[in-house]
A = this chain, B = another copy of it.
Amino acid sequence: MSEYPLEKHHLAANTIRGLAMDAVQKAESGHPGLPMGMADVAVVLWTNFLKHNPQDPKWPNRDRFVLSAGHGSMLLYSLLHLSGYDLPLAELQSFRQWGSKTPGHPESHLTPGVETTTGPLGQGLANAVGMALAERWLAERFNRSGFPVVDHYTYAIASDGDLMEGVAQEASSLAGHLALAKLIVLYDDNHITIDGSTELAFTEDVLARYGAYGWHGQRVDGHDPVAVKAAIEAARAEGKRPSIIACRTQIGYGSPNKQGTAKAHGEPLGVEEVRLTKENLGWPTEPAFYVPDGVREFMSRDGKAQAEWQTLWGHYQEEYAELAITLEKMMRRQDLPDDWEAVLPQFEAGKSLATRASSGTVLSAIAARVPSLLGGSGDLTGSNKTDLKGEKDIRPDDFSGRYIRFGVREHGMAGILNGMALHGGIRPYGGTFLVFSDYMRPSIRLAALMGAAVIYVFTHDSIGLGEDGPTHQPVEHLMALRAIPNLTVIRPAEAGETAVAWRAALENADGPTALVLTRQNLPTIDRQTGGAADGVRQGAYVLRDVDEPQVILIGTGSEVQLALDAQKLLADKGVRARVVSLPSWELFAGQTAEYRHEVLPPHIKARVSIEAGTTFGWERYIGDEGLAIGLDHFGASAPYETIYRELGITAEAMAEAGLSLLRR
């Protein structure tokens, strides 16, 4: 212990403090307090434990480091810069400026070495759980005696705010249950939140709570590097449980007038206080962004760890060629089949099947061919049909299974799915009822922002769920999800479309996809005539056409059937109506104008849409002269056929709307 290089340590920690102060001051906004308070802990971690290669930020077997308290972004940027990532000092000097790689909160798609996008509190911790879960699962599948090819830790820095958030609590409880021993959380126990002392609102016994979850807990002086090192060693040695280390720190460490107070939290210290702080730390007041000689050397990592692993990997490729090829394909997202037509199940026309049921069939069929597919449900397995045929549950003592019981923890699930996707090697999916997508929105949004390819299986997608009533019946959720940039929402009309929807979801590498599925049965559409289900991949297609249509009937999901029925009703009255199935607004928006006009010819203004949800937004497709059939209020508890009828979401109403448009 006496050999700890304290001098170098303090130089590095103070460098980080200086960079953080100066960057925030220059930007005139930001959070200096956390980087200054956690600099010691971070330097201990990054110089003694963190296994990474700044020259190859995507090395698969690197340790994952998550700054859950993303507002302390200058800590992460300083660490990345000093240890040799492609993040020059000039980037730190453009902190929070247009076009820089140092945004206010860390963004994983923007900055090399940033593992996940954080800022919204609690999310990073849930991501870290997902990464640790991914590591554990891949290790179990691919490691062989003497070949720990998947073997890394996941470290997270979490703040009081992180630990207050429900998403972190849910994910932490599951991490304890699953005994994710290679997850180590460094808790910045600084007793301060934006509003002031944690005495204002947060007086629980955090370590006792984590103990109740089944975690290993320690308390340490966060400004004592030797003690921090020992604590991390103990956490790693624990071996059976995830670990949390409460690091007692002073926010804004070193600032004579603001240290230990909320004033150091979320605003620049001020020019004068920066000067006083530097003096107090024995730091040159000039130049700003000062990095003393030796600090980069002390912090930097060469490629040695990766090179050693590469040797191991080479031997593994020889010994276990097939496994190595599979793992490599998974890590590179190259494990999708070429013969989709053979993989996707065929469904018999006319047979009645809920899309959640056909989804279950499709999912199991795909999973047999796509080894990276791993997911579960928020305690609604039987309802979501998310289980994989012939695959076991993952259990604390046995990760050879392929199904995750997330518990009634939708938000935690969504945050964990993000972490699994970010880890690599896994195509994660998770199921719940569509109405509970609301519980998951903050994580869904981050998946969309990061471009994380998570798949959501949202069943029970409308009043069609019937008796459970308004608390469980989505009304606004389809539109609210469609409003999220870079989220692809697909609501298939029946079994055939459901199969294609799964394919589209798996082929979407750039962001999350939500599959929106029914509880109630729907007839499988006969594809002998009319549009092929493959049209789902274009987002919308002409399902049943007529010569010179007078009216266009547009439906999504279960209501496509009503549009088909309405077409017949109109035909009986001599009206020619085209039926368009529009399962995905986002995919359709991505088509050429030519295709879009082919499906929805601009000159046909008589358009009726039908969807068992809010009509808000449908103006986009029906235009000024169209009519939207839907639901602009909450649902009701009754058998679903009754609800549809009583609320007027019927083929008759649609046909009548079509007629009324022609009468105008």
Would you call A411 and B166 a contact (CB within 8 A)?
A: yes
Instruction: State how many angstroms separate the Cβ of A207 from the closest Cβ of chain B.
Output: 8
Shortest distance from the beta carbon of A430 to any chain B beta carbon, whole Å? 13
A617 to chain B, nearest CB (A): 5
A206: B residues at CB distance < 8 A: 212
Q: Is the CB of B201 within 8 A of A205?
A: no
Distance A634 CA – B447 CA, assembled complex (angstroms): 12
| Contact yes or no, A407 B164, CB < 8 A | yes
Chain B minimum-CB-distance residue to A31: B468
**Chain B residue nearest in CB terms to A620:** B619
Total copies of the chain: 2
Alpha-carbon separation in the docked complex, A442 to B439 (Å): 6
A479 to B485, CA, bound (A): 12
The reply to whether the CB of A17 lies closer than 8 angstroms to some CB of chain B is no
Near B by CB (< 8 A), chain A positions 58-101 give 70, 96-100
Q: Tell me if B643 and A107 are in contact (CB < 8 A).
A: no
Q: In the complex, what residues of B have CB within 8 A of residue A639's CB? A: 97-98
A sample of 15 more A-B contacts (CB under 8 A), given A98-B639, A177-B203, is A29-B467, A96-B637, A105-B471, A164-B170, A165-B166, A174-B201, A193-B407, A200-B405, A204-B212, A209-B213, A438-B445, A480-B480, A480-B483, A482-B616, A617-B617
Residues of B within 8 A of A407 (CB): 164, 193, 200-202
Please give, as numbers and ranges, the residues of chain B lying within 8 Å of A212 by CB-CB distance: 204-206, 208-209, 211-212
Q: Are B408 and A469 in contact (CB under 8 A)?
A: no
**Contacting residues of chain A (159-189) with chain B, CB-CB under 8 angstroms:** 160-162, 164-170, 173-174, 176-177
Binding site for B on A (CB under 8 A): 27, 29-30, 70, 96-100, 103-105, 107, 117-121, 160-162, 164-170, 173-174, 176-177, 193-195, 200-206, 208-209, 211-214, 377, 379-383, 393, 396, 405-409, 411-412, 435-436, 438-439, 441-442, 445-446, 448-449, 466-472, 475-476, 479-480, 482-486, 614, 616-617, 619-620, 623-624, 632-634, 636-639, 642-643, 646
- Which residue from B29, B165, B193, B634 sits with its C-beta under 8 Å from A466? B29
Name which residue of chain B comes closest to A410, CB basis: B165
Q: Which of B177, B205, B405, B624 contacts A623 (CB 8 A)?
A: B624
Partner among B104, B164, B636 whose Cβ is within 8 Å of the Cβ of A467 = B104
In Å, the complex CA distance between A288 and B317 comes to 68
- B residues within 8 A CB of A479? 479-480, 483, 617
| Cβ contacts under 8 Å, A486 to chain B | 633-634
Distance in angstroms from A13 CB to nearest chain B CB is 25
Instruction: Select which of B165, B173, B470 is within 8 A of A449 by beta carbon.
Output: B470
Residue among A174, A204, A209, A623 with most chain B CB within 10 A: A204
Q: List 23 A-B contacts (CB under 8 A).
A: A29-B466, A96-B467, A98-B637, A98-B638, A98-B643, A99-B638, A104-B467, A119-B468, A161-B379, A165-B439, A166-B170, A166-B411, A177-B201, A195-B405, A201-B379, A204-B213, A204-B214, A208-B209, A211-B212, A449-B634, A479-B479, A480-B480, A485-B633
| Nearest-neighbor residue (CB-CB) of A468 within chain B | B104
A30 vs B466: C-alpha distance in the bound complex, in angstroms?
A: 11
Residues of B within 8 A of A177 (CB): 201-204
Q: Give the complex CA separation of A205 and B203 in angstroms.
A: 19
| A118-B471, A119-B469, A209-B212 known; A636+B438 contact, CB < 8 A | no
A105, B380: Cβ atoms closer than 8 Å: no
Asked whether, in the complex, the Cβ of B165 is within 8 Å of the Cβ of A167, the reply is no
- Between A213, A380, A438, the greatest number of chain B beta carbons within 10 A of the residue's beta carbon is seen for A438
Are A200 and B485 CB-contacts (below 8 A) given A121-B408, A407-B193, A441-B441?
Answer: no
Q: How far is the CB of A157 from chain B (nearest CB, A)?
A: 16
Partner of A442, one of B436, B614, B617, B636: B436
Min CB–CB distance A627 → chain B (angstroms)? 14
Known contacts A195-B381, A471-B118; A485 and B208 CB within 8 A of each other? no
Which residues from B are CB-within-8-Å of A616?
482-483, 617, 620
Q: In the complex, which residues of chain B have a beta carbon less than 8 angstroms from the beta carbon of A203?
A: 176-177, 214, 396
Q: Identify A471's interface contact among B193, B449, B623, B637, CB under 8 A.
A: B449
Question: B449 near A117 (CB under 8 angstroms)?
Answer: no
Q: Which residue of B lies closest to A210 (CB)?
A: B212
- Which residue of chain B is the closest to A165 with respect to CB atoms? B408
What residues of chain B lie closer than 8 Å to A96, measured between beta carbons? 467, 469, 637-638
Contacts of A439 in B (CB 8 A): 120, 165, 441-442
Q: Is the CB of A637 within 8 A of B209?
A: no
Smallest CB separation, A217 vs chain B (Å): 11
B614 touches A485 (CB 8 A): yes
Contact (Cβ within 8 A) B483 A614 = yes
Given the interface contacts A204-B213, A485-B633, does A408 sit within 8 Å of B193 by beta carbon?
A: yes
A10–B194 alpha-carbon span in the complex (Å): 53
Expressed in whole angstroms, the minimum distance between the Cβ of A91 and any Cβ of chain B is 12
How many Å from the CB of A427 to the closest CB on chain B? Answer: 21
Most interface-central of A70, A169, A383, A634 (chain B CB within 10 A): A169
Given A169-B169, A202-B177, decide whether A194 and B380 contact each other with a Cβ distance below 8 A: yes
A167 to B411, CA, bound (A): 10
Q: Quick check: A383 and B194 within 8 Å, CB to CB?
A: yes
